[in-house]
Structure 1
Amino acid sequence: MAESIVFDIATEVLTKIGSLVGRQVSLLWNLESDLRRLEGTLSSIKAVISDAEKKQACNDQLRDWLRKLKDVLLDAEDVLEEFEFQAPKREVVRQKRSTIRKVSQFFSSSNPVVLRCQISHKIKEIRERLDQIASDRSRFSLIESTPVEVRPVILKGRETDPFLGASCPIGREDDKEKIMSFLLQPTDNNVYVISIVGIGGLGKTTLTKMVYNAERVNKLFPLKMWTCVSDDFDFTRLMKEMIYSATREDCSKLKGDEIRKRLHEILTDKKFLLVLDDVWNEKPQKWIELKDLLVNGVNGSKIIVSTRSKKVAEIMSTGPSHFLQGLSNEESLSLFKKYAFKDGEGKDFPRLIEIGKDIVGKCKGVPLAVRSLGSLLYANTDEHEWLKIKGNNIWQVDQDNEDILPVLKLSYDHLSSPLKRCFTYLCLFPKDYEYINLHVAQYWMALGLLKTSDKNEELEDVANQYMIVLWSRGFLEDFLDYNVHWTFKMHDLMHDLAISMTESEFAFINVGSHKVDGKLRHFSHGDTELCGEEFLQRIDDNSRSVRSIVFPAAEKYGDARIIGSFIRKDISKFKYVRLLHLCSILFEVLPNSICTLRHLRYLDLACNDSLKKIPESICELQNLQMLRLYGCSGLRKLPNNIRKMICLRHLEIATQEEVLPENGIGCLSSLQFLYLCECNSLRSLCEGMQGLKSLRKLFLTDNPMILSLPDTIKYLTKLEALAIRSCPKINLKMELQGEDHELRLGLKKFIIKKLESLVDLPQLLLQASADTLKYMQIKDCGNLEALPEWFQNLTSLEKLEITRCHKLSSLPEGIERLTSLKELKIEGCPSLIESCRNDELKIAHVPVVRLIDE
């Protein structure tokens, strides 16, 4: 069993108290005694938390005691953090202030005496609650112990690359061919429906993906659509998702009958394949309503339905259903060995294989359970640990009850506390949600979930390691690498597991929700039609200590107009909120009250083309680490004092300004990621970019007026990725200066797309990164005629992609010197491809060469 989450939180609170005890401000505010007493009480409670965690499964009262303890610890974090924010600024009232100003401030909420009383009262209240919890522990006969620490270490080998292409899943080739035969056979039906039925975790979605992506299917169906239905058979949502899947169109402007009309246009006279994944709806009328929309396709159109319900299959299928069975013992063992042993076979561990046979025998052929346990035991050759898993009776599978969550929980229990908290947080987003690693890192960071003992390690890197470990343990899947970021998903059963672990802290609010009682910490707004007032009506006043408010549905379907009080004034009531995910919420003005959210670390306002104004008061949010203004094309200007946001690490900008504020973004020394997108009037970046001492990623997209990169970019010594797309006038050439021949940069990825003015690569940047540059992509650069002779100096380059650069006719001389080059992809460059085919020796040293004609 890994260390407990409650133990971990208690440790964090004690650390915060320790940092305050003995400081002048705690003495000045007469809080020293309360803080020391709080520290002593919590230390004694912390000693028995591990034992309480072990015994809670069989004791409801003990489980309630732990819940109350966790609740008071989270409240303590809020109060102590508030003290940390305010104390340095409020130690004394300055004597030089006039009497009138003193009197007015005395009756103000910012008065230091009033503030001191407020915080003092809150700390005393926390201490009293904790004293009661300490008193109650005597009822449980708890013993002092320390949990075993499990560090989220990344093992070498298989675990380090979640992007490797998945081969055909073990034991599913026959199933694939049966589904293919259904799809390929001619029918007279306008729409033919095939259902794949099986319990959770059998691999219905994986099987469907195998079929959906098959080359034979691509040739047979000109139009393909995929939508995850889940337990919300919302007619409007499904129509929008089908439109988006077919065309990648933004549906935010479509309303009512316009949605139906657009889908009708897309389907008319098309032979299509539609996947309805994970269907739960057992009401025939809802299916009939959807089916009536799908009759406009050409005869022979097909629909694949995946479901756990036989009744769903009976309602929807027009032909025989395919009932997916569990894997055989041999197939299960083969899958288990693939994940449990470094070599995928375990030939050197016959005893472990014998134990493994017993373990997979209890999994009843469910691939998700087999993979989860194999991943749990990966590279662990301790026979005792294997026997402990074999002898654990909590995860035995009952296929009739579709009960494999206990198996998954066994793997969850063996995660470290930070990984548990990071994993469960992802359930705030809906099933089949596509997570972006850059954003997930900021979610976790905003809530203080990331831990590292290395002061030199960036938290973004820690977050990426967490994601890879969670993938290696089977908690995340479907990783897709986009070179500058990656995406992933969660299996729906893993999503169910995460929800089951968070019931007392998380609430999912939609139109059908009742009022949410109790002190919950995280809210997910699950319905784009639910307006602000209705959202607030479902939240009990006790829940104003919420830390996250997330609107994930709006991000995908883009039609949420949160009206009334929520954005305008009630947002300020959530004073302890750390994360506001308001992507695609449409409103015109962000209120000044945003400045009262001093705990806020993450603010996502992206994809709001109605937003016109950001108040200057936002610059008071000096703890803000993430600000997304991507897609806010109506935003007139950025705040003048953005330089005051000293903790910003991730910034995405859209603005109508021609020039960025002087001494603005260039002063953000903590900034690691900067993305300028759709700044249609912007003529240049800030000249003082050398102030961005921590910047690691710079992305420029759809900025038609930017003429050049500033020379100061060459001083960004930590820059690792530079991506420039659709900036047709930009000039990448920089002036050489006397000291530049010794310039050393650390660029690892260089990506340019749709740069009409590009005639040469930026020599200064790339040669200065010759020892570090690993990936280069050059795409749709029609005026690039040749790669320079100095290209052969990029000896660290591992992957080169060149796409639709029609004037390129040959690779540069000396390319054979690029001995690190592992993959070369050339697509849509006729002359260049012909040259490579005629002179294969030039690239014979490259292990993977892909020459793709248009």
Structure 2
Amino acid sequence: MADALVSIVLERLASVLEQQIRQQVTLVVGVESEVDNLKSTLQSIRAVLADAEKRQFSEELVKVWLERLKDISYQMDDVVDGWNAALLKLQIAAENPCIPKPKISSCLPSPCVCFGQVSLRRDIALQIKDIKKQLDAIANEKNQFDFVSSSTIQQPHRRMTSSVIDVSQFCGRDADIDVIIDNLLGGSSQESSSLYIISIVGMGGIGKTTLAQLAYNDDRVKAYFHERMWVCVSDPFDSMRISRAILEALQKEPSGFHELEAVQQKIGTLIADKKFLLVLDDVWTENYELWEQVESSLKGGAPGSRILVTTRNENVSTMMGTAYKHPLGELSKEQCWSLFSNIAFKGRSREKVEELEKIGGKIADKCRGLPLAAKVLGSLMRLKDNKKDWEDILNNEIWQLDVIDKHLSTPLLLSYYDLSPAVKRCFSYCAVFPKDQIISKDRLIKLWMANSYLNSRESIEMEKTGGDYFEDLVSRSLFQDFVRDGEGNIISCKMHDIVHDLAQYLTKNECFIVEIDEEKEVRMASSFQKARHATLISARRVGFPSTIHNLKYLHTLFATGVVDLNNAKFPPNLFKHLVCLRALDLSGNVLCRKLPRNLGKLIHLRFLNLSDIFFPGGLPGTICDLYNLQTLIVSNVGSFLTLPQGMRKLINLRHLEWEASKLVMLPKGIGRLTSLRTLTVFHIFGDHLGRDVCKIGELKNLNSLRGGLVIRGIADVKDAEEAGEAELKNKKHLHHLELEDFGRLVSSAASKGVAEALQPHQNLKSLKISRYDAATEFPSWIAASSLAQLKKLEIVYCAQITCLPPLGELPLLESLIIEHMKRLKYVGGEFLGSSTTAFPKLKHLRFNDMEEWEKWEEKEEDDEEEGRSVMPCLHFLTTYKCPKLESLPERLLQITSLQVLDIRVSPTLQDRYHKGRGKDRSKISHIRKVWC
């Protein structure tokens, strides 16, 4: 971890000197030799850090030495980053003549001094000299420890993505699962109680949560209970949060209640006379009064209802009134070996397994029956290919250490030490998240970026580097509880408590979770004074603590939803003191309509989340002074948001996100932000607004855009020539595109011409066209030759279209949705196209709200081809709300892969295929589920 910090400083020092040369600006003179000496000293220290980090657990003096090194590394990073920011400001001033050129005496905050009106170059030089003096002292002290020098710098392990396995599938607890499920399903002796509590009790890492998950997702359990809810409780035990989580699990949507009584009344209504299963995972409190506040709302369920609790503490089990307690012990030697070997030997040849099996058995014995240890060690050994690597792990000196901390395990330390320095830094940063918090992969990578942990080389995107680091941690079982998207990609995860304990131990004086007391303002302890990353949490919205400014060295501050709704104020001088911030999340403070003064002074800031905050006058213009900003998130800020005109100055901005904020006015000049990777919505406004508005041509130079883009208000594009200025064909990284609102007032020819000019790159994977109202036919590029990679297509609200294009020729199309086509009456062979196999990959086909659609035929009258295949992979077919549709093509109904047919609110089809009276019911009898 210290190695990663030192490497960041070395890269920054080289970068800032290179930038001075490139810009032909000598902002700071006379420090070249000092910088060279700094670099030399840092490199000599870096050579011994691998040994130092291992010895810190057994030698207190080494640990103290490393803490001092990390502190001075942070100071150096702040100074050099401030130097870089000043150079950046000069660059922006040169590119924007309308912006006043900064004076050399500009204020450059740093953790050491505030520059005020003194000379910038002089203070940077003085700070570098002071840091060099401290660093020299640290370098001299290292000699007393006789560290072993390492000449190689370990790089992140590179794997093929396909080799990653989800180790959650391995358990080794078959007998325990059977017992838990038997108790959940109950017997006649248990039915008299409507609140029957089962507790799984065991030490951390023993597999309690995994066991509960397997039982919760068992098919028998799903069938037995009317309702199932899973709530992660953790510590502290917050009755309101837990009750709200129960309610949201029941409602399948967010709760709008803010009072405990209202939440619990609603819970009682929803579970009345229903058998429910509630899992309360990771309960710590022994306070019956707190438990009683939650329990009181759960007594109205039907007999047979169950509450399944996981806890480390037997006293918790007793306090809650457990009817059956299941003590979870260590795995047997055979179970532990099975769990370890299934992971470690996955995909290996028989010969390789035989070579490593004996050593593997000895390593598995060191897991001491803990499933988490077996998973982590198995994952580690899976990355080791030769016998010597396995022997090195078996004989590692870490096994000889005394117990480091009751919450830390040797297998986790081994896995941690096997990480590269850069990935170690990324892992330990996760200590800033509270335990059991769901961690968004995308957000985590952007936070790593903000803290300069992902400085990529060889033209590799920072985001790609972050994705590789994340996958490395996944492959080692340091993340778990994955949520995946439709393509199987991980979008979020959690950390096991024991893994989180390790991250916290490694960042003991850096990362803090600060709980704000409900009755008195939090006291910032002296140990917090040099905190670099902090998360504020509270059981209620209690106001923003004014003493937060004492944490003046913070690089990360998460203050999500901590402000009292009735007293929504920030300390007025908050950002006057927190000048080192790299990442700031203020989301969820709904009524904080005005941000604190001095926001624009946060020259280091790279990540800013202002979601769920209402800004009646638009975002403050001071945001445009945050020249280093990489990520700006303003989701859910209301129905309209105006971005300030100075946004063009944010030349480092890579991600501009505003989901669920329907109308966002982009300022003129947004096209200068050529670093943009994410631009959620591009809304076009007409000249009638009487101001400088952003035109579609601003997209021309934004060729780094990737992911998804929604273009709204296309009706305000004058003609095809203007639309062509967007040059969407050059956006090769853009995989998801939505084109909305072509308007009704434009002529058919003009509307089609605009659409033709908006042809996307052939790499596009999903496309949605909506409110294409004026044109009578689709643009010619909706064809296999132009959209060969397309997997999903939505066509909705196209009022004048009377004929569908040959979509059957799209070779990779998996999902097709066609809705609200008011003039479409006939679908025939033109829809299938001329391919030998029409729709070869299509799985989901949905027609919805087709008011005039009457006939659907699989070929034209002159089409005699009978041998070709049609939709061989179709799983789901929907014709919802198609009142005039007479029948479905028989060839489609014969597809053996078809599993679900939905013909609701289509009366003619419902009569034809009705289970009791339909004359063609026999033709769909093989379909597993029919919604009629």
TM value normalised by structure 1:
0.84
Does 2:630 align with 1:631? no
Distance in 2 (CA, whole Å) between partners of 1:139 and 1:398 is: 23
Structure 1 position 36, deviation (Å)? 3.5
- The equivalent of 1:812 in structure 2 is 832
Distance in 1 (CA, whole Å) between partners of 2:102 and 2:153 is: 54
Structure 1 position 14, deviation (Å)? 4.7
* 1:270–1:384 Cα change, 3 Å: same
Does 2:538 align with 1:527? yes
Alignment of 1:17-416 (within 5 A): 19=18, 25-26=25-26, 29-87=29-87, 114-142=119-147, 144-155=149-160, 157-159=162-164, 169-185=170-186, 186=188, 187-251=191-255, 254-343=258-347, 346=350, 348-392=352-396, 394=398, 405-416=409-420
- The equivalent of 2:734 in structure 1 is 720
CA contact (8 A) 1:602 1:626 kept: yes
- The equivalent of 2:593 in structure 1 is 588
Distance in 2 (CA, whole Å) between partners of 1:644 and 1:355 is: 59
Structure 1 position 286, deviation (Å)? 2.1
CA contact (8 A) 2:777 2:803 kept: yes
DSSP-derived class of the 1:76 partner: helix
DSSP-derived class of the 1:305 partner: strand
Letter of the structure 2 residue corresponding to residue 717 of structure 1: K
Structure 1 position 781, deviation (Å)? 8.3
Residues 341-350 or 405-414, more deviating: 341-350
* 1:338–1:736 Cα change, 3 Å: farther
- The equivalent of 1:544 in structure 2 is 552
Distance in 2 (CA, whole Å) between partners of 1:151 and 1:667 is: 34
Distance in 2 (CA, whole Å) between partners of 1:502 and 1:564 is: 31
Distance in 2 (CA, whole Å) between partners of 1:73 and 1:694 is: 33
- The equivalent of 2:463 in structure 1 is 460
- The equivalent of 2:792 in structure 1 is 776
* 1:236–1:654 Cα change, 3 Å: same
1:352-404 CA deviation, whole Å, 9 max, x = no partner?
011111111221332221111111121523111111222236459999x9756
DSSP-derived class of the 1:721 partner: strand
Compare CA radii of gyration and give the structure with the larger one.
Answer: 2
1:115-154 CA deviation, whole Å, 9 max, x = no partner?
2333233223212222222333333234543244132312
Residues 273-282 or 420-429, more deviating: 420-429
DSSP-derived class of the 1:377 partner: helix
Letter of the structure 1 residue corresponding to residue 81 of structure 2: E
CA contact (8 A) 2:783 2:809 kept: no
Letter of the structure 2 residue corresponding to residue 15 of structure 1: A
Distance in 1 (CA, whole Å) between partners of 2:486 and 2:776 is: 24
DSSP-derived class of the 2:472 partner: helix
Distance in 2 (CA, whole Å) between partners of 1:850 and 1:771 is: 31
Residues 106-115 or 604-613, more deviating: 106-115
Does 2:499 align with 1:494? yes
- The equivalent of 2:852 in structure 1 is none
Distance in 2 (CA, whole Å) between partners of 1:347 and 1:784 is: 67
* 1:333–1:656 Cα change, 3 Å: closer
DSSP-derived class of the 1:293 partner: helix
Distance in 2 (CA, whole Å) between partners of 1:559 and 1:824 is: 52
* 1:452–1:184 Cα change, 3 Å: same
DSSP-derived class of the 2:155 partner: coil
User: Unaligned 5+ residue runs, structure 2?
Assistant: 95-100, 109-113, 718-722, 844-872, 881-886, 900-925
Structure 1 position 505, deviation (Å)? 0.7
* 1:208–1:562 Cα change, 3 Å: farther
- The equivalent of 1:836 in structure 2 is 892
Distance in 2 (CA, whole Å) between partners of 1:204 and 1:725 is: 48
* 1:435–1:678 Cα change, 3 Å: farther
- The equivalent of 2:619 in structure 1 is 614
CA contact (8 A) 2:793 2:817 kept: yes
Structure 1 position 256, deviation (Å)? 4.9
Structure 1 position 523, deviation (Å)? 0.6
Residues 544-553 or 414-423, more deviating: 544-553
Structure 1 position 305, deviation (Å)? 0.5
CA contact (8 A) 1:609 1:632 kept: yes
- The equivalent of 2:706 in structure 1 is 696
Does 2:678 align with 1:670? no
User: Unaligned 5+ residue runs, structure 1?
Assistant: 95-100, 844-848
Letter of the structure 1 residue corresponding to residue 696 of structure 2: E
DSSP-derived class of the 2:587 partner: coil
DSSP-derived class of the 1:243 partner: helix
DSSP-derived class of the 1:349 partner: helix
Structure 1 position 749, deviation (Å)? 2.6
Equivalenced residues, count: 825
1:92-127 CA deviation, whole Å, 9 max, x = no partner?
x99xxxxxx999989999988532333233223212
Structure 1 position 546, deviation (Å)? 0.9
1:601-650 CA deviation, whole Å, 9 max, x = no partner?
11001122466531112112121111111100065422122222222211
TM value normalised by structure 2:
0.77
* 1:154–1:804 Cα change, 3 Å: farther
Residues 419-428 or 732-741, more deviating: 732-741
- The equivalent of 1:642 in structure 2 is 647
CA contact (8 A) 1:521 1:546 kept: yes
Structure 1 position 317, deviation (Å)? 4.2
1:213-262 CA deviation, whole Å, 9 max, x = no partner?
23333333222221101121111111121122222443455235333433
1:773-811 CA deviation, whole Å, 9 max, x = no partner?
3x326599899999955434433x274466999999898
Q: CA RMSD in A?
A: 4.6
Does 2:876 align with 1:826? yes
Structure 1 position 452, deviation (Å)? 3.0
Letter of the structure 2 residue corresponding to residue 626 of structure 1: T
* 1:73–1:277 Cα change, 3 Å: same
DSSP-derived class of the 1:174 partner: helix
Corresponding residue to 1:469 among 468, 472, 476: 472
Letter of the structure 1 residue corresponding to residue 482 of structure 2: F
Residues 294-303 or 408-417, more deviating: 294-303
Distance in 2 (CA, whole Å) between partners of 1:793 and 1:754 is: 21
Does 2:14 align with 1:15? yes
Alignment of 1:734-813 (within 5 A): 745-750=761-766, 752=768, 764=781, 767=784, 769-773=786-790, 775-776=791-792, 778=794, 790-795=806-811, 797=812, 799-800=814-815, 812-813=832-833
DSSP-derived class of the 1:274 partner: strand
Residues 798-807 or 358-367, more deviating: 798-807
Distance in 2 (CA, whole Å) between partners of 1:430 and 1:760 is: 54
Distance in 2 (CA, whole Å) between partners of 1:564 and 1:82 is: 29
Letter of the structure 2 residue corresponding to residue 599 of structure 1: H
CA contact (8 A) 1:610 1:634 kept: no
- The equivalent of 1:515 in structure 2 is 524
Structure 1 position 429, deviation (Å)? 1.8
Alignment of 1:432-471 (within 5 A): 432-455=436-459, 457-471=460-474
- The equivalent of 2:696 in structure 1 is 687
Distance in 2 (CA, whole Å) between partners of 1:309 and 1:394 is: 29
Does 2:434 align with 1:418? no
Structure 1 position 522, deviation (Å)? 0.4
- The equivalent of 1:97 in structure 2 is none
* 1:658–1:188 Cα change, 3 Å: closer
CA contact (8 A) 1:195 1:317 kept: no
Letter of the structure 2 residue corresponding to residue 524 of structure 1: T
